[in-house]
Amino acid sequence: MSGIKSRLAIMNFLQFAVWGAYLTCIGNYLGPHGLGTEISWFYSVQGIVSIFMPAIIGIIADKYMQGQKLLGVCHFLAGLFMLSAWWYGHTHDQLDFSTFFTLYTCSVAFYMPTIALSNTVAFSVLKRNGYDTIKDFPPIRVLGTVGFIASMWFVNSVYFVDGHLGFTLSSENPYAGFRFQYTDMQLLFCGILGLILGIYACTLPACPTEGRNAGKVSLVDAFGLNAFKLFKIKKMALFFIFSMLLGVSLQITNGYATPYITSFKGVAEYASTFGANNATLLTSLSQISEALCILLIPFFLKRFGIKKVMLIAMMAWVLRFGFFGIGNPGSGLWLFILSMIVYGVAFDFFNVSGALFVEQETDKSIKGAAQGVFMLMTNGVGATFGTLGAGAIINHYCHWTTVGNASYFTGDWQYPWLIFAAYALVVFILFAILFKYKHVRPVEPSAQKM
């Protein structure tokens, strides 16, 4: 890998390592510190800020500030706000929701636009250095998933308490309960990574702006509102509506998988099992599956078409939730592992295939805006309301309970997971009936010659 591509790979590694530091395990920290019933808000806010912040940052990147510098500024501000959230949490045993949530939201608001902005920077640098983005970007992007996984493994295993810094996967270690996945140290780690990336991004090659006078863009165009005319087309309207309905599932396991798995530590039968004590590590199998399943998408799309691929994704969500509902970290650990494996199919076959479908079915004049609508319906509207709804259901059946010296999210977890599985199954059935799409399988070159 060349010097330029290596530098972009490092950027992608850090980009997602920042997110992986807390995304799947912050619930384990919030619960024992008084905000267990508010976990859903900490995940839904990612969707809320994603509705408007990427567009605002995109306008700035196009007109006023070079992309790599803006990326650095956003990460630096996100890192500072996350460090502020860490400091507040570090100095308060019980968290005030309004104070902590405000600091967290400010960090997320500056982080979420950087996901798209980092891609923009990578594309710009690659093109200006004569590289083929289709060929050379995927290996660079894979390092992002590697960074996310590495960060999850780090916070799962590292502890720091009373001056003792160490690494453990065993529940027998006296410091096991102080690992970053349970404490405010995950926020400190995230904030430090953010500052490092903020500085590093500013050293990347320049990504020139179009200039503030390089064509006037209306707010309708800037926010992608012109693409909403696609709702006049029945096929596209149904696709976007079902994207929203399936988007409901996206953040549920990010928010509640680790508190659920960790809750088994409050059950004597499972208290010392590897799974219950390494929930973040176990959950990282989902990201490994995600990275591998991306490679399957071209084959499945070519052979089966978008409708069948989306149906496969929807059924995978049914299995994702269902395996959680009937599994446990002891004899049922294999069901948890299966849940992690099918997540790759559930997430990738929906998100990546959906984006490719939008790319193929929309006019080139609104392709970018159409992708924005797809993201709005899934990660914005769908994920926001889905996470809040899931939080209400889980809070009805489960409660944070003190067991010994620790607090766990205990209760009738099987009911919420099976409710979510049933919901995904209903979406699957409705999509199969209502969405009409005839797939024409492309003719192989060898067949054309015959």
At 59, the pLDDT band (50, 70, 90 cuts) reads: confident
Q: What pLDDT does residue 163 have?
A: 85
Query: If pLDDT is split at 50, 70 and 90, which confidence band does 307 have?
Result: confident
- DSSP letter (8 states) at residue 380: I
Higher pLDDT: 366 or 60? It is 60
Residue with tokens 């990427």: 54
Residue 28: pLDDT over 70: yes
Q: How far apart are CA 429 and CA 63, in angstroms?
A: 46
Sign of the dihedral through C-alpha 345, 346, 347, 350: positive
**Is the confidence at residue 366, as pLDDT, over 70?**
no
Amino acid at 355: A
What is the DSSP track for 224-247?
Answer: TGGGGGGGGSHHHHHHHHHHHHHH
For the chain, the first-to-last Cα distance in angstroms comes to 40
Torsion of CA 214, 220, 224, 226, to 10 degrees: -110
When mean pLDDT is compared across 78-82, 152-156, 233-237, the lowest value belongs to 233-237
Q: Is the pLDDT of residue 395 over 50?
A: yes
223-450, which class in CATH?
mainly alpha
Give the amino acid at 306.
Answer: I
The pLDDT of residue 450 is 45
CATH label, 1-209, candidates 3.60.110.10, 3.40.50.720, 1.10.10.10, 1.20.1250.20: 1.20.1250.20
The helices-and-strands tally (H runs, E runs) of the chain is 20, 4
CA distance 21 to 153: 9
Q: Is the pLDDT of residue 62 over 80?
A: no
Residues paired with residue 164 on neighbouring β-strands, in sequence order:
161
Per-position b or e across 126-139, b if 16+ CB within 10 A of its CB: beeeebeeeebbee
Instruction: Tell whether the model's pLDDT for residue 96 goes beyond 90.
Output: yes
Helix (H) or strand (E) holding 408: strand 406-411
pLDDT at 448 over 60: no
Please give the average per-residue pLDDT across 18-24, as a whole number.
94
Per-residue pLDDT of 209-261, as tens digits, reads: 765 555 555 556 655 566 677 778 888 888 889 989 988 998 899 899 999 99
Domain ranges of the chain: 1-209, 223-450
Cα-based torsion angle of the residue sequence 442, 443, 444, 445 in order, rounded to the nearest 10 degrees: -120
| 301/439 Cα distance (integer angstroms) | 9
Nearest to 154 by CA among 134, 178, 180: 180
CA–centroid distance for 2 within its chain: 29
Predicted model pTM: 0.86
The C-alpha atoms of residue 56 and residue 222 are separated, in whole angstroms, by: 8
* 3-class SS of residue 76: helix
**Coil, helix or strand at residue 411:** strand
Q: Which residues pair with 159 in a beta bridge?
A: 166, 179
**One-character DSSP codes across 99-133:** HHHHHHHHHHHHHTHHHHHHHHHHHHHHHHTT--H
Residues 6+ apart with CB under 8 A from 157: 167, 168, 169, 179, 278, 281
| Percent of the chain's residues with pLDDT above 70 | 90
Instruction: Calculate mean pLDDT across residues 379-387.
Output: 88
What per-residue confidence (pLDDT) applies to 57?
Answer: 77
Q: Give the phi and the psi of residue 96 in degrees, each rounded to 5.
A: -85, 125
- Give the other-Cβ count within 10 Å of 69's Cβ: 17
Interatomic CA distance for residues 339 and 327, integer angstroms: 9
Q: Which of 110, 82, 293 is nearest to 191 (CA)?
A: 82
Place of tokens 């599956």: 289
Instruction: Check residue 179 and report its DSSP letter.
Output: B
1-209 matches 223-450 in fold: yes
Q: At 37, which helix (H) or strand (E)?
A: none
Q: Is the pLDDT of residue 444 over 60?
A: no
Q: What is the pLDDT of residues 98-134, one digit of tens each?
A: 999 999 999 999 999 888 788 888 888 888 888 887 6
Strands (E) in 200-316, as ranges, are: none
Average pLDDT, the chain: 87
Q: Locate the DSSP E strands across 116-271.
A: 158-161, 164-167
pLDDT at residue 449 greater than cutoff 90: no
Q: Which helix (H) or strand (E) holds 256?
A: helix 252-262
pLDDT at 67: 83
